[in-house]
Amino acid sequence: MSEGAFISTANDYIGTSSRGSLEMFEAGLNVSSEITDRLRAGVQLFARDVGAFHDLPRIDWAFLQYQHRRWLGFRAGVVKMPFGLYNEYADIDAARVPILMPQGVYSVRNREALLAHRGFALYGTVPIARAGELDYQVWLGTLIIPDNAISISSNARLDGIDTRYVTGGQVFWHPPVDGLRLGGSYVRTSIDFRVTVDAATTAALLAAGIVPPSFDGSLVISQRPATLAIASAEYQHGRWMFAGEYARVYKRERSTIPVALPTRDSDGELFYGMATYQLTRCHALGAYYSVQHPDVDDRGGRDRTKFPERHFAFQRDLAATLRFDVNEHWLWKAEAHFIDGVADLTLDPLSDAKPARRWGLFLVRTTVTF
């Protein structure tokens, strides 16, 4: 269970951060059981009230796990989706130093959609002689995306989300170097968003003649496909831990009104480097620098048809965290972010608000696990 607070010097991030917010509450209750030596089952209920995200208790994950051999195991149910170094653990504050993981890869906004999938997974560890061993996971299922996980323009209403499939794989190589792991992850999905635009927009589209006369405001916007590929590296040495990841996000978006909303491709990149140091048994320091570019072909935001100002084309985040473990069950964290750019802000395209280019975000959080 966690409670926290955050405030930003400008811009609203996560929620109304510019005025300060205490909306940083999360509670999870999980039960798991080792039914036999090889068979486990577990379920987690999770609720949160974090800024703009208000989730009533829902099943976060619930799966059975059968480990046939070390090299082959099987999971079925609502299964956590492994991508990158940390997505499976993105909901476990006690398992990391930062409060906010690098948002390009582990976005709070996408948590509900990308934490788990409903389907099947195979996993295992394969020794490769003197070269160490490989951990692998592959999966197939559908995404469970709550409506409130999506932000949408103020002139439209989201009617529903259909994911046709999500599939992916992850491999981590553990070479014979203590504490080092190198790997890659790939996720591919296809999602339809059913949307209704308001009457004024419908009338404007009809008047412009770019939709058929039968257009009633309903349309489908599809991401077919949306893919995420991540290269990851982590090295633990003594009290130090270093991690770095580079990710590419590719989407092909199309709609049922192609004249008004033509098919478009987007290719974004995200990367970060992070270091943590265990100062004492109770204290740890962490820092990372993360960068997001929604368009790799225009990292500087020169194209005014895509970005109203240059700083809409990137977000560079320098973050520092202090973690203090009061005991094995209770911890505190304080974190500061110095941010350049607004690429990760949720901005209503119809709003005239001009976000500040350089801004700070400060958070504190306490977590109890039991």
Partner 1 sequence: MRALVLAILAALAVTGHSATVKAVHAEEREGFKVIVHPDNPARELERGFLRSAFLKKSTEWHGETVRPIDLATRFTVRDRFTTDVIGKTRAQLRSYWNQQIFSGKGVPPPEGESAAAVIAYVLAHRGAVGYLPASVDPGKARVVPVR
104 and 344 Cβ atoms separated by less than 8 Å: yes
Rounded CA gap, 86 and 91, in Å?
10
Residue ranges binding partner 1 (CB under 8 A)? 28, 30, 32, 34, 37-38, 40, 42-44, 61, 63, 65, 67, 69-70, 80, 88-89, 91-92, 94-96, 125, 178-179, 236, 238-239, 241, 278-285, 320, 322, 324-325, 328, 334, 336, 369
193 and 151 Cβ atoms separated by less than 8 Å: no
Between 215 and 324, name the residue whose CB sits nearer to partner 1. Answer: 324
Strands 133-143 and 156-174 turn out to be antiparallel
Token output for 249: 């996000």
Distance of closest approach, residue 355 Cβ to partner 1, in angstroms: 23
Distance of closest approach, residue 348 Cβ to partner 1, in angstroms: 33
H/E segment holding residue 201: helix 199-208
Token output for 68: 């046939």
Between 15 and 77, name the residue whose CB sits nearer to partner 1. Answer: 77
Q: Is 111 helix (H, G, I), strand (E, B) or coil?
A: helix
Between 67 and 110, name the residue whose CB sits nearer to partner 1. Answer: 67
Distance of closest approach, residue 105 Cβ to partner 1, in angstroms: 17
Distance of closest approach, residue 119 Cβ to partner 1, in angstroms: 16
Between 89 and 246, name the residue whose CB sits nearer to partner 1. Answer: 89
Distance of closest approach, residue 37 Cβ to partner 1, in angstroms: 5
Instruction: Identify the residue whose tokens are 């989706």.
Output: 81
CA-CA distances (angstroms) from residue 50 to 22, 150, 179, 239, 309?
8, 15, 34, 31, 29
Strands 315-325 and 283-293 turn out to be antiparallel
- Buried b / exposed e over 273-296, threshold 16 CB at 10 Å, is bbbbebeeeeebebbbbbbbbbbe
Closest Cα partner for 119 from 158, 174, 81? 81
* Cis-peptide into 262, omega within 30 deg: no
Distance of closest approach, residue 152 Cβ to partner 1, in angstroms: 31
Distance of closest approach, residue 139 Cβ to partner 1, in angstroms: 14
Between 140 and 322, name the residue whose CB sits nearer to partner 1. Answer: 322
Distance of closest approach, residue 80 Cβ to partner 1, in angstroms: 5
Rounded CA gap, 7 and 229, in Å?
32
Between 197 and 241, name the residue whose CB sits nearer to partner 1. Answer: 241
Between 80 and 293, name the residue whose CB sits nearer to partner 1. Answer: 80
Between 92 and 203, name the residue whose CB sits nearer to partner 1. Answer: 92
Q: Is 271 helix (H, G, I), strand (E, B) or coil?
A: strand
The residues, ordered by sequence, that sit 6+ positions from 259 with a Cβ below 8 Å of its Cβ are 210, 211
